[in-house]
Structure 1
Amino acid sequence: MDNTTLIGIPRTRITTPAELAAAGYLARYRGSTRETYRVSLKILWDWCAGLGVDPLEGMRRPVLELFARYLEDERHNSPATVAHHLSIIRGYYSFAEIDQYIDRSPAAHLRMPRVFIDESRTLGLDRMELGSLIQTARASSPSDSALITLMGMLGLRVSEACNVKIEHYQDIERGHRVLRLVGKGGKPATIPLPVPVLRALDAAAGDRTSGPLLLRNKGGGPVNRKSAALTVERLCKKAGINKRVTPHGLRHSFVTAALDAGVPLRDVQIAARHSDPRITARYDRARHNHDRHANHTVAAFLAGAA
């Protein structure tokens, strides 16, 4: 969101209840999250303008149902994208009700599309592929190595990895060097650094004692999301990995590797900083393995009593 507009409206002209409610709703969020929410609301605003409907006081549930069909049929959005936009819009109306701009949210009973997750696309790289990528990154440059290590061995999000500074991992806590960062939703995190990770970070820092850890190989400027994605693509190609791998795919790979290594689900959830264990469980490749089904354990446990 820029400094002059809100949902495409100049800030000096934010006067209607709908605009004020939107301003208060977006003020709850920061950075890229706020921009994402702003875009969803603007799509609704523009569509309502075409119908001559006030987005707040003139809104009813059937109109929102028509908007959902507009997203599907005219914008050709996928079910996941439609659900994303509608969840943001439901939040807007919920807070408009809380803030007493409206008596009841018109989105309370809005039909949400069913979204099916293709788990085969969320598992990321397997152990051998991730190991090959890490080796390729080490041979490429210290900065490339640190980037892949942060995402593939610590499970950092790409924005978190790009924002790491040298001074962020100098502290020692309970006998471990730790990385301190602020993650998604402004939540602080303290992450212990295994020796291979620490070596990669120290190599990227070199003689520097402060500033951004990750620098581009060309130009020397800080690595950003775009350059990180290009680096991952380049290194995967060099490593002979034919899958389409994104920076977030390396975070998926970290979670899957932890589960495959036998780390308890609760510990993996904490390491990945997932709010819900069900999110973590999606990456458990072996959970459909009949050899480890709970039935066997229960049968053995009851064998002496039955």
Structure 2
Amino acid sequence: MTYPIERGIKIYLDHLAVERGLAANSLQAYRRDLQRYADWLEDRAITALEDITPSHVSDFLAHLREGDETHQALSTTSAARTVVAVRGLHRFVFKEQYVDVDVAVDVHPPAPQKRLPKAIPLSDVEKLLDAADAVDSPLALRDRALLEFLYGTGARISEALSLDIDDIDTDSRAVRIKGKGGRERVVPVGSYALRAIDSYLVRARPLLVSKGRGISRLFLNSRGGGLSRQSAWAILRTCAERAGLEGELSPHSLRHSFATHLLDGGADVRVVQELLGHASVTTTQVYTLVTVDHLREVYATSHPRAQ
């Protein structure tokens, strides 16, 4: 028995709406993507589900990335969304026994391009940190301690803001960080960060904690409560403006800089993996791409026969 493509799409969309309760906007997107697929197949005289081959599906993916006179080339993200819809259609009609083969099972959405983490040059990091305590106040001492800690340990902002005082061991110059998935790691803390934290603990935190309920969190706000993520972003933006730094900066930029500067200095990637708390070294290896780019740039500008 022959099953028209348009009928298969309608049954599949009904399934998404009724059985899976897909939202109206999502259904509209699926409908639009699958209609483009059906139109592309019809242009090739293919109107029945059983006539579609794996080559047709992979060719359609290539078409999405290239575009034509009537359709612009799709971005990786948009093409991936369309392929997900097509794969869902073919998986459904196969499971419901409209066809004998799932022809899209080996066609995968295009992988998004890796966005390399943006590290801040060391000179800019120093400007940022110096700008943090340009004003002599308890909050300025806190800001310097926070930014020194983020750059000195590579901690995520969420990890830093959840720290308690007891998590810092000044004698062993280390901090116990609770990371993703409940994993804990012990990270050494450098002398600059330790000095900044000590100044904050002695000269600023007692004043801040007296305004609240005496919580054990390390980094406090002006009312004695735990510092929020939004406040941490505001601290960074204020310090960046004060330092005259341009471009996009976030607390995560200091984590990226921590990793990149370690690798630039010769650290082993597996050591950096442990310090960052990555479950897999593959996640950490993205930073090695940054350092290779840096090496290439230095080589191109320094070697007499590089040009």
Class of the TM-score when normalised by the shorter of the 2 chains: 0.5 to 0.7
Map of 1:236-251 to 2, 5 A cutoff? Answer: 236-251=240-255
In structure 2, the partner of 1:266 is 270
Q: Which of 279, 285, 294 in structure 2 is aligned with 1:278?
A: 285
Shift in Å, 1:249? 1.1
d(CA) in 2 for partners of 1:273, 1:221: 27
Shift in Å, 1:158? 1.5
Q: Which of 213, 216, 223 in structure 1 is aligned with 2:218?
A: 213
1:153 aligned counterpart, secondary structure: helix
CA RMSD of aligned residues (A): 4.7
Shift in Å, 1:233? 0.8
Map of 1:126-137 to 2, 5 A cutoff? Answer: 126-137=121-132
In structure 2, the partner of 1:162 is 161
In the alignment, does 2:118 pair up with 1:123? yes
In structure 2, the partner of 1:110 is 108
Specify the code of the residue in structure 1 equivalent to 2:199.
A
Residue segments in structure 1 that go unaligned for 5+ positions in a row: 1-15, 23-40, 52-60, 70-76, 292-306
d(CA) in 1 for partners of 2:265, 2:273: 14
TM-score (norm 1): 0.58
Shift in Å, 1:42? 9.8
Residues 18 and 279 of structure 1: is their aligned pair in 2 closer, same or farther, counting only changes over 3 Å?
same
d(CA) in 1 for partners of 2:179, 2:274: 13
2:113 aligned counterpart, secondary structure: coil
Residues 84 and 42 of structure 1: is their aligned pair in 2 closer, same or farther, counting only changes over 3 Å?
farther
Q: Is the 8 A contact 2:215 2:225 kept in 1?
A: no
d(CA) in 1 for partners of 2:265, 2:164: 30
Shift in Å, 1:238? 0.2
In the alignment, does 2:198 pair up with 1:202? yes
1:283 aligned counterpart, secondary structure: helix
Residue segments in structure 2 that go unaligned for 5+ positions in a row: 1-17, 34-53, 65-73, 96-100, 301-307
d(CA) in 2 for partners of 1:127, 1:151: 14
Specify the code of the residue in structure 1 equivalent to 2:260.
T
In structure 1, the partner of 2:69 is none
Shift in Å, 1:148? 0.7
In structure 2, the partner of 1:192 is 188
Q: Is the 8 A contact 1:252 1:283 kept in 2?
A: no
Residues 18 and 184 of structure 1: is their aligned pair in 2 closer, same or farther, counting only changes over 3 Å?
same
Q: Is the 8 A contact 1:124 1:245 kept in 2?
A: no
Residues 86 and 210 of structure 1: is their aligned pair in 2 closer, same or farther, counting only changes over 3 Å?
farther
In structure 2, the partner of 1:74 is none
d(CA) in 2 for partners of 1:224, 1:199: 23
In structure 1, the partner of 2:3 is none
TM-score (norm 2): 0.57
1:139 aligned counterpart, secondary structure: coil
C-alpha deviations, 1:20-72, integer Å up to 9, x for none?
xx9xxxxxxxxxxxxxxxxxx99746745999xxxxxxxxx97xx99xx8xxx
Specify the code of the residue in structure 2 equivalent to 1:197.
A
2:153 aligned counterpart, secondary structure: coil
d(CA) in 1 for partners of 2:166, 2:24: 39
% identical aligned pairs: 24
Specify the code of the residue in structure 1 equivalent to 2:158.
S
Shift in Å, 1:146? 1.9
Residues 147 and 17 of structure 1: is their aligned pair in 2 closer, same or farther, counting only changes over 3 Å?
farther
Q: Paired residues, what number?
A: 235
